[in-house]
Amino acid sequence: MTIRVVLADDQPLIRAGLCMVITDAPDIEVVGEAGSGTEAVRLTRELRPDVVVMDIRMPGMNGIEATRMITTESRVVILTTFDDDDNVYAALRAGASGFLVKDMALDDILTAVRVVAAGNALIAPAVTRRLIEEFAARPRPASPPRKLDAVTEREHQVLVLVARGLSNHEIATHLHISHGTAKAHVANLLTKLAARDRVQLVITAYEAGLMTSTP
């Protein structure tokens, strides 16, 4: 099945570059291009793409507002630069399933589109590190939210590793458990914390004050 993508970026050259790479991918096609958040929302509702690759800084309605309006219809991968650090958390809260930086290899961006289209979430490790630095600087909550009460000690360890951007395979290696066991722990966390995907697990870990230092 071909993954249908809408590109939303106010810079035509960036859209053209992404479009050229995607055109060469046999399983992904660009079905629409938008130069603003408002246009991205309109195209998403009209075309119903699987994934929207969204810039944050656009004229009029920005990428965060647009993401908030379309994540019930399509999954969103945010593309940005490190100059947008202040917007990372807001974009994740808006429902983005992926967060990548524009200097990543184009092949990595294609991989992210495939991962998100499959219903998973992906945050670039460099972005994860910046998020941890930001949240480590904030006052630690007096106590974790009550919804963490049902999380076991092992699941707590897994949650921290998910928040640091580790894959299931990397979690398994770090904790000396099987890949299947790591996957099961992540699935249990998604259920217990009523999280849609790994991104929401990351947010929960930050808000619970679990991330106090960089990995």
pLDDT by residue for the chain (215 residues), tens only, comes to: 899 999 999 999 989 988 988 888 999 999 999 999 999 999 999 999 999 999 988 888 999 999 999 988 899 998 877 555 567 777 777 888 887 777 777 788 888 899 889 887 776 666 665 665 665 565 555 555 557 888 999 999 999 998 887 888 899 999 999 999 999 999 999 999 988 778 778 878 877 877 654 44
CATH number of the 135-207 domain: 1.10.10.10
Nearest to 160 by CA among 125, 124, 118, 208: 208
Q: Which residue spans of the chain are classified as CATH 3.40.50.2300?
A: 3-123
Question: CA angle, corner 96, sides to 91 and 166, nearest 5?
Answer: 100
Query: What pLDDT was estimated at residue 134?
Result: 61
Q: Which CATH number applies to 3-123: 3.10.20.30, 3.40.1160.10, 3.40.50.2300, 3.50.50.60?
A: 3.40.50.2300
Please state the three-class secondary structure of the chain as a single string.
CCEEEEEECCCHHHHHHHHHHHHHCCCEEEEEEECCHHHHHHHHHHHCCCEEEEECCCCCCCHHHHHHHHCCCCEEEEEECHHHHHHHHHHHHCCCCEEEECCCCHHHHHHHHHHHHCCCCEECHHHHHHHHHHHHCCCCCCCCCHHHCCCCHHHHHHHHHHHCCCCHHHHHHHHCCCHHHHHHHHHHHHHHCCCCCHHHHHHHHHHCCCCCCCC
Ranges of CATH 1.10.10.10 domains, the chain: 135-207
Task: Count CB neighbours of 70 within 10 A.
Answer: 25
pLDDT at residue number 145: 57
pLDDT of residue 135: 58
